Structure 1
Amino acid sequence: MLKLNIRRRTHREAELDITSFMSLMTILVPVLLLNMVFSHISVLKLNLPGLSDASVASAEENRQLELVLRQSHVDINYPAGMRVKRVPHVDGEPDFATVSTVLQEVKRQLGEKSIDKKDLVILSEKGTPYKTLVSAMDTARSYRAVVAASVVDAELFPQISLGDAPGEQMLQATAGK
C-alpha cells in the first residue's frame, strides 16, 4: 500500500483592515451632519376649495377677501369683485409693503364691524413667479408689529386659499353691467 503524505492546510481567519473605512466615516459623518443643519423645510398650510351647494357657494363667495396678483399691479377686493385698492408695482416688483398696510386697514375695518375674518383668497395670473406667490402668502398671513417694546408677528389672514385670477376683460365687462 502506498502511503501518501497529504498535508492539509489549516484555515486561518482573514484579518479585516478597516482603517480606510474608518477614515471615510470620519470625514463623511460630519459632512452629512453639517448638511442636515443647513437644509430647512418650510411648510405652507393652504386651504383647497371644497365641493358644496351652488347657492351656498355663491352667497359665501360674495363675502370673500381677494388678493389678485396681476403683471402690473395687485388688486385687493372685498367683497369678491369689488376693488378696495389697486397697488401698482414698483420697479417691476409687487409693492408688498403697501399691500400689507391695506390688508391691515381692511382687517381693522372688519373688526370695527364685528366681523372676524381669517380667510383670504389669492388669485394669480398664469406665469406668476413662485417667489411672488410665496411673498404674497407671507404678506397676507401676518405683519410685524411692536407690542410692549418687542417686535411680534401679528395675525392678518392665516387661512389662505389659492386660485386663478379672472381675465381683466371679464372684469371690465361685469363692471359695465
Structure 2
Amino acid sequence: MLRKRRNRSREIHTELNITAFMNLMVVLIPFLLLTAVFSQVSILKLDLPGSASDSEQVIDDEQINLEVIIRAERLVLAERRTGVLAEFPASETELENSFKLLNEKLQEVKARREDHRAISILAEPETSYDLIIQTMDAVRVIPPLTTDEIPGELFPDISLGSAPPDPQTAKQE
C-alpha cells in the first residue's frame, strides 16, 4: 500500500521588528522638514505671460514696457513702444562688465520712473540657464556699495519670454 505523505507546514510565528524603521523615520522627517524651508529661500518669483484675455488692459500713455533681450552676442535693453535704449556686448570676457552697465542704465530709468516695477526678459532658445539667472539678478536689485548696505530694488516683477527674431541677422541674410 501506498503511504500518503503529508507535508505538514510548520508555521513559524515571528513578530515584525520595526524599531529600526521607526528610528529612521524619527531622524528623516525633521531633516526633510528643515531642508524644505531652506529650499523656498532660493526660489525667484516670476510673472509668466498670461493669455490674451488677461492682457486686455487699458494702456497708459506714460506706462513703459521694459525688455531685456538676450541675444547670442549682446544684451539689448529696449522699451516696447519706443525701441532700443542700449546694447551691451555679451561675450564671455565682457559679460560681467555688461551686466554692470545694464544695471547702471536701469538705475537711470528707475530714477525717472520710480513707481515702475515690471520688466520682461526675452531669451533666445539656446540661451544658457546661468545667463538668464545673471540677467535676472542684474535687473532685480541695485548692488550695495558696502557690505553694510541693503541692496536697493530695481525691477523685481520679472516676466520671462521668448526673444523675437533678431533684425540684425535678418538684414545680413
* 8 Å CA contact 1:119, 1:160 repeated in 2: yes
| Paired residue type of 1:89 | A
Gaps of 5+ in 2: 1-12
Instruction: Indicate whether 1:89 and 2:90 are aligned.
Output: yes
Instruction: Indicate whether 1:166 and 2:167 are aligned.
Output: no
Q: How does 1:3-152 map to 2 (within 5 A)?
A: 16=15, 18=17, 21-39=18-36, 40-41=39-40, 42-49=43-50, 50-52=54-56, 63-78=64-79, 80=81, 82-91=83-92, 94-95=95-96, 96-108=99-111, 110-111=112-113, 116-145=115-144, 150-152=148-150
Distance 1:81 1:75, change over 3 A: farther
* 8 Å CA contact 1:145, 1:151 repeated in 2: yes
Higher-Rg member (1/2)? 1
Please give the TM-score of this superposition, normalised by the length of structure 2: 0.66
Paired positions, count: 150
| Paired residue type of 2:100 | A
How far is 1:43 from its partner?
A: 4.6
Distance 1:93 1:33 in 2: 45
How far is 1:136 from its partner?
A: 1.9
Q: Percent identity?
A: 23
* 8 Å CA contact 2:73, 2:91 repeated in 1: no
Please give the TM-score of this superposition, normalised by the length of structure 1: 0.65
Gaps of 5+ in 1: 1-13
- Aligned-CA RMSD value: 3.4
Please list every run of at least 4 consecutive aligned residues from structure 1 whose deviation after the TM superposition is greater than 4 angstroms: 59-62, 170-173
How far is 1:62 from its partner?
A: 8.2
Distance 1:74 1:61 in 2: 25
